[in-house]
Amino acid sequence: MPIVFDSEKRVFKLDTAASSYVIELYDENYILNTYYGAKIPDMGPVGREKRRPNASFSLANPVIGENGFTPDTAPMEYGCNGAADFRISALAVRNANGDSVTDIRYTGHKIYPGKPEIPGQPSTYANPGDGAETLELYAADAVTGVRVTLYYTVFSNYSVMTRRVRIENASEKVFEIERAFSLCVDLPSMEYDMITLYGRHCSERNVERRALAHGVQGVESKRGVSGHCQNPFAALAERNAGEEHGDVYGFNLVYSGNFSALAECDFNCTTRFIMGINPVDFGWKLAPGESFDTPEAVMVFSREGLGGMSRIFHRFYSNNLIRGRWKTEKRPLLINSWEAAYFDFDTEKLAAFAKEAKELGFDMLVMDDGWFGKRNDDTTSLGDWFVNEEKLPGGLAPLIERVNAEGLKFGIWYEPEMISPDSELFRAHPDWHVHVDGREPMLGRNQYVLDVSREDVRENIWRQMYRVLSENRIDYVKWDFNRNISDAGSAILPPDRKKEFFHRFILGTYDLMNRLVTTFPDILFENCSGGGGRFDPAMLSFSPQIWTSDNTDPIDRLYIQFGTSMCYPASTMGAHVSACPRTGYETKGNVAMWGTFGYELDPRKLTEKERGIVRAQVAEYHETYDLIRNGDLYRLVSPFENAYRAVWEIVSPEKDRAMLTLVTMRREFCANLTVKLRGLDPDRFYKNETTGEVCSGALLMNAGLQLSRAAERDGESCVVKFSAV
């Protein structure tokens, strides 16, 4: 039983495969979080000090009296605003009286197998055999009628818990939620480093590590999307934890909108961590009887450092987040027209790409931006989702027939949540874009954001998309989102609900995406946002792969892919070989092979030699497909820590195959390079498929592999594969 309640001790224990999480009910029904860490057999109370030194004369509950308990210092399970817990609050509700004192106490609970969905929002799911169990912990504020359900699902075959919160209005008056975080964890020390992923367009998800300090610190997005600049991910790692050792807590929010991930270290040197919707520009009115659901947060605990944490995220997301046909079915190897032609294409050019692509062994041609309205550059036509017949005479059908005749599948690009001021849609509906009255909204890439929080707007876009997708043989959709949301406002939201806009926008996006995946379950769906600006678990629940970055330079990609791999598996990372000149095609292929793999270049321009390399890569793609998608990742040498090279290894779940890739970013003079492999079976023997040498897993992991003479020059790379004998 992964979740147990000891009614005498009034303690809940939630066990995953490798972690325990203990919740205690204290005097006056306070809910306390007294342990989260490596698995323990005890039921508790686990002895965490609930009465710690006070700030000054800390405020105490008069009923509990003199024993010194105060919410100011206690490890509160879901810290609320205004009732003597002064740390960052997970919940704040402004009630009809105008105050925002919120004080929730335990009222009951329910434990049951499986995991419920969140209405209207994406979330992870339980498969039969996962041993998933859910605890619903009920709490209420006796004065304001705020009712809270804390949801916890534990997975007994992973070291994973998920959390989320439902807030209900059980009063007779409207109240407004001002903050509603998805998780709140109180840890007994501040001896942690916080690891987050910062970036920008073309340089997404760089790994950054900093020591926690007293006060509040963290990352957030106010861009209307999870964004390029910070990912909704944070890890708290013990100070001495590294890539493969030490305790690490990983947190990831299943949300594509404005988020906040904050840690506060208080005067007692303890840490509170909260993650959820960014309270800036957020508010939600709740009428009597209504409820509000937060997004879900995923919590991973690893004793095996950041690498262990990543491997848990990867397995969990591959099995319990990605859904639909393409979760398990082999995905087609595609060539995308963007870097090959940008807006400059027509039926003849695309048909020529398809012919070449077929010869090279690819499976699908994707027609990127530029096929609709009057779109010949990025100044027009978003919102006009009908075919540009000047480029594609007769529509899509003649092109798709020619592509299919080559034996290739066909994919198409959309940017459904956008509108160009120069479009038929804008001329017909000049109030459908995101804007506030009296203010000229900012343009981003010459476009406005379409107000998909509105049902009528979504309906229009959906109908346009449905027509194209249902009338043509389309196997793949790339869904782009190329600007952030400024001037946030919707023409139909009243002033007292304007703060709901950002969240309503994301719910609208989810609704549209859900229609796509449920109406066209066979379509392979790839997310994108000006490269990797919306690379988050919410998008992954709709699309099994996301375009990782517009930067296809293989050296820059090392950083991007190392960072992205912190929590997202290889099968999700869109990665293409392009014409980018910095390295040869071998290295471009070796780097892209770590992701979904594909091409983004004009195949007619490849030389005979390059065509030979590409054909070999296609064969390699098929040969290593299962290993890369199902294997465990070991980041052996990180480009964030080494100026010369990056090395990663993928080991099959059965530990009978392994593949190591080394990329030399910059030549190290007289390098003496030995790389110790990881994750092999020490007692098995493995054949090095390059040299034919046979060595034990123990030797490869302890003595290591000599690579001093491999990939010696800038931009060179090598792959060494091992198979158990």
Nearer of residues 411 and 569 to ligand DGJ, judged by Cβ: 411
Strand partners, 183: 275
**Nearest approach, Cβ of residue 26 and ligand DGJ (Å):** 51
**Nearest approach, Cβ of residue 447 and ligand DGJ (Å):** 10
**Nearest approach, Cβ of residue 145 and ligand DGJ (Å):** 47
**Nearest approach, Cβ of residue 338 and ligand DGJ (Å):** 4
- Picking from 223, 121, 221, the residue whose alpha carbon sits closest to that of residue 449 is 223
Nearer of residues 204 and 716 to ligand DGJ, judged by Cβ: 204
**Nearest approach, Cβ of residue 265 and ligand DGJ (Å):** 38
Q: Write out the two tokens for 163.
A: 């959390």
Interaction site with ligand DGJ (CB under 6 A) = 338, 368-369, 413, 480, 482, 528, 530-531, 547, 550
Nearer of residues 78 and 481 to ligand DGJ, judged by Cβ: 481
Q: What is the largest CA-CA distance in the chain?
A: 84
Rounded-to-integer distance, Cα 236 and Cα 262, Å: 11
**Nearest approach, Cβ of residue 378 and ligand DGJ (Å):** 6
**Nearest approach, Cβ of residue 677 and ligand DGJ (Å):** 35
Q: Of residues 451, 480, 556, 632, which has the active-site annotation?
A: 480
Coil vs helix vs strand at 558: helix
Asked whether the beta carbons of 435 and 501 are under 8 A apart, the reply is: no
Q: Of residues 103, 368, 536, 550, which has the active-site annotation?
A: 550
Nearer of residues 368 and 422 to ligand DGJ, judged by Cβ: 368
Q: Where are the alpha helices (DSSP H) in 361-434?
A: 396-405, 424-428
Pairing of strands 215-220, 146-155: unpaired
Q: SS in 3 state form for 35-67? A: EEEECCCCCCCCCCCCCCCCCCCCCCCCCCHHH
**Nearest approach, Cβ of residue 15 and ligand DGJ (Å):** 42
Nearer of residues 531 and 679 to ligand DGJ, judged by Cβ: 531
Go through 265-296 and write b for each residue having 16 or more CB atoms within 10 A of its CB, e for each that does not.
bbebebbbbbbbbbbebbbbbbeeeeebbbbb
Looking at residue 1, the DSSP 8-state letter turns out to be -
Nearer of residues 176 and 480 to ligand DGJ, judged by Cβ: 480
Nearer of residues 338 and 501 to ligand DGJ, judged by Cβ: 338
Which residue lies nearest ligand DGJ, judged by its C-beta?
Answer: 369
Element (H, E) at 513: helix 501-519
Coil vs helix vs strand at 646: strand
Rounded-to-integer distance, Cα 46 and Cα 75, Å: 13
Q: How far is CA 430 from CA 89, 454, 505, in A?
A: 40, 14, 18
Alpha-carbon 723 to chain mean position: 32
Nearer of residues 130 and 550 to ligand DGJ, judged by Cβ: 550
Asked whether the beta carbons of 693 and 662 are under 8 A apart, the reply is: no
Alpha-carbon 482 to chain mean position: 18
Q: Where are the alpha helices (DSSP H) in 523-635?
A: 537-542, 554-564, 585-592, 608-630
Q: How far is CA 168 from CA 17, 267, 289, 553, in A?
A: 32, 33, 7, 49
Strand partners, 230: 198
Nearer of residues 165 and 382 to ligand DGJ, judged by Cβ: 382
Known catalytic residue at 550: yes
Alpha-carbon dihedral of residues 86, 88, 90, 91, nearest 10 degrees? 50
Nearer of residues 338 and 634 to ligand DGJ, judged by Cβ: 338
**Nearest approach, Cβ of residue 528 and ligand DGJ (Å):** 5
**Nearest approach, Cβ of residue 534 and ligand DGJ (Å):** 10
Rounded-to-integer distance, Cα 349 and Cα 640, Å: 41
Beta-carbon count within 10 A of 518 CB: 9
Which active-site residues does the annotation give? Answer: 480, 550
